[in-house]
């Protein structure tokens, strides 16, 4: 896929080093689709690579603009990296994007109003309705978007939803699922969830896919091109393993991610069961909802 990112972005080279074929677009043409990535994850470069990877097989030309909040300074990100490669919302708010992706964030333990950047995030979500053709809300951002727009709150789980879970497509006519099997795997890593009944009771929402175990997966806002996705299809192969071993090192109560390791006894050899469908999902988003 021809893709343009900020010059010198390390994540682009990291993906190439994995063997992923990415054609670097030097100059945008009139056919280039503009996607803004509001990256709220603490590991900025990892998340950048995740989305470059899942967008790598889209035939359309894409230009990715990295967006940051003006009211929040990330604790774990290099200030130099943020200054060199990211643009603040204030700098971008007069522009229009074909697509906007808002990532998850490690703040799900907080009530939404207690998140320090909640007001700015609400402004961005409202701005997106008129300045982005289609918006993907990922994981915590999906919960945040549904809460801000429809008052649907997240609910604490008794234990972390952690691993790879099978999902069922509820509406096969939705173009987002073109080429994806009726049951497809998706990584989840979260302590909170959305209730199915609360989604179904909201007339402006349509539940598109779900899991018997991990619950609500993709929700679409009716009559729009906005999608709320509770899983992490963009995750790299080793991400869940890294999260598991990080929490173990912190002596946190954490069970191994389910349906993930080929060698479950020794917690080794993660299996890549979801990335093929992930690339189709994001490719369909670009093909059918950004143009």
CATH number, residue 22: 3.40.50.880
* Residues noted as catalytic: 139, 232, 234
Instruction: Annotate 218-272 with DSSP letters as a single string.
Output: EEEETTSSEEEE-S-TT--TTHHHHHHHHHHHTT---PPPBT-EEETTTTEEE--
What separation in angstroms does the CA of 71 have from each of 40, 82, 110, 128, 169? 12, 14, 18, 18, 38
Position 110 in a domain:
yes
Element (H, E) at 189: strand 183-193
Position 259 in a domain:
no
Tell me the C-alpha distance between 249 and 168, whole Å.
35
Tell me the C-alpha distance between 32 and 27, whole Å.
9
pLDDT at 187: 98
Helix axes 44-54, 275-289, angle to 10 degrees: 70
Position 242 in a domain:
no
Position 267 in a domain:
no
pLDDT at 247: 94
> Among 54, 69, 26, which residue's Cα sits nearest to residue 229?
54
Here the tokens at position 275 are 């990335």
Position 43 in a domain:
yes
Tell me the C-alpha distance between 137 and 119, whole Å.
17
Cβ(98)–Cβ(120) under 8 Å?
no
Position 107 in a domain:
yes
For the chain, what is the mean pLDDT? 95
Here the tokens at position 39 are 């990256």
Domain coverage including residue 169: 2-157+164-237+274-289
Cβ(43)–Cβ(14) under 8 Å?
no
Total of domains in the chain? 1
Give 224-266 pLDDT, tens digit per residue. 999 999 999 999 999 999 999 999 999 988 999 999 999 988 8
Position 266 in a domain:
no
State which residues of the chain have pLDDT below 50: none
Which alpha helices (DSSP H) does the chain contain, by range?
10-17, 44-54, 79-85, 89-92, 118-131, 140-150, 196-201, 239-249, 275-289
pTM above 0.95, yes or no: yes
């Amino acid at each position: 896929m021809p893709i343009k990112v900020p010059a010198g972005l390390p994540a682009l080279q990291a993906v190439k080093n994995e063997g992923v074929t990415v054609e670097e677009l030097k100059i945008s043409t009139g056919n280039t689709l503009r996607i803004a990535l509001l990256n709220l994850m603490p590991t900025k470069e990892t998340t950048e690579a995740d989305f470059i990877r899942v967008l790598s097989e889209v035939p359309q030309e894409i230009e990715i603009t990295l967006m940051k909040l003006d009211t929040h300074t990330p604790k774990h990100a290099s200030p130099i990296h943020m200054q060199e490669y990211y643009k603040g919302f204030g700098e971008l708010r007069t522009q229009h994007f074909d697509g906007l992706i808002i990532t998850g964030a490690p703040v799900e333990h907080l009530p939404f109003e207690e998140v320090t950047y909640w007001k700015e995030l609400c402004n961005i979500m409202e701005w997106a309705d008129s300045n982005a053709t289609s918006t993907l809300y990922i994981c915590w951002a999906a919960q945040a978007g549904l809460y801000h727009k429809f008052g649907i709150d997240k609910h604490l789980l008794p234990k972390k939803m952690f691993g790879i879970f099978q999902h069922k497509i509820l509406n096969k006519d939705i173009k987002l699922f073109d080429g994806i099997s009726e049951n497809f795997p998706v990584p989840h890593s979260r302590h909170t969830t959305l209730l199915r009944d609360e989604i179904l009771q909201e007339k402006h929402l349509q539940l598109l896919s779900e899991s018997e175990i991990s619950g609500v997966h993709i929700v679409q806002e009716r009559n729009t091109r906005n999608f709320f996705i509770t899983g992490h299809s963009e995750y790299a192969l080793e991400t869940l393993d890294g999260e598991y071993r990080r929490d173990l090192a912190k002596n946190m109560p954490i069970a191994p991610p389910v349906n993930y390791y080929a060698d479950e006894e020794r917690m080794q050899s993660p299996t890549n069961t979801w990335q093929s469908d992930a690339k189709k999902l994001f490719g369909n988003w670009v093909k059918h909802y950004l143009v």
